[in-house]
């Protein structure tokens, strides 16, 4: 399994990985000593599905309240982060 990206966002650690058939998102607190053992795993068969779930995760991490302005700001920030992640994955050769 190849690691494509690691992020520490809003006190959470997120890793994006890929094997020959699937994409993986690992998600958990920054302070876990055994991150591999305790992280939440999500599996995706397509890059699009993985990016959609990652966008929802980043949006939820960025929301401070359910007020209109906070929701819009969280969506915009998540969209920018997804764009950067997608560009990094393309450079790393993960977009197949």
pLDDT for 94: 57
Can you tell me the distance from the alpha carbon of 86 to that of 51, in angstroms, rounded to the nearest whole number?
A: 8
- Which residues face 16 on adjacent strands? 5, 25
pLDDT in the model for residue 41? 92
For residue 58, give its domain range.
Answer: 2-92
Mean pLDDT of the chain: 83
CA atoms 17, 49, 38, 7: torsion sign = positive
pLDDT digits (tens, 9 = 90+) for 16-29: 888 888 999 999 98
Q: Indicate the pLDDT class of residue 1, thresholds 50, 70 and 90.
A: low
Looking at the chain, the whole-number percentage of residues with pLDDT higher than 70 is 95
pLDDT single digits (tens) 50-71: 888 988 888 888 877 778 788 8
Report how many domains make up the chain.
1
3-class secondary-structure state, position 27: strand
């Amino acid at each position: 399994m190849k690691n494509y990206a690691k992020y520490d966002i809003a006190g959470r650690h997120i890793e994006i990985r890929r094997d020959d058939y699937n994409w993986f998102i690992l998600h958990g607190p920054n302070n876990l000593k055994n991150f591999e053992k305790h992280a939440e795993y999500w599996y995706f068969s397509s890059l699009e599905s993985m990016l959609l779930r990652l966008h929802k995760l980043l949006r939820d991490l960025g929301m401070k309240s359910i007020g209109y302005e906070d929701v819009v700001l969280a969506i915009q920030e998540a969209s920018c982060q997804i764009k950067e992640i997608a560009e990094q994955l393309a450079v790393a050769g993960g977009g197949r």
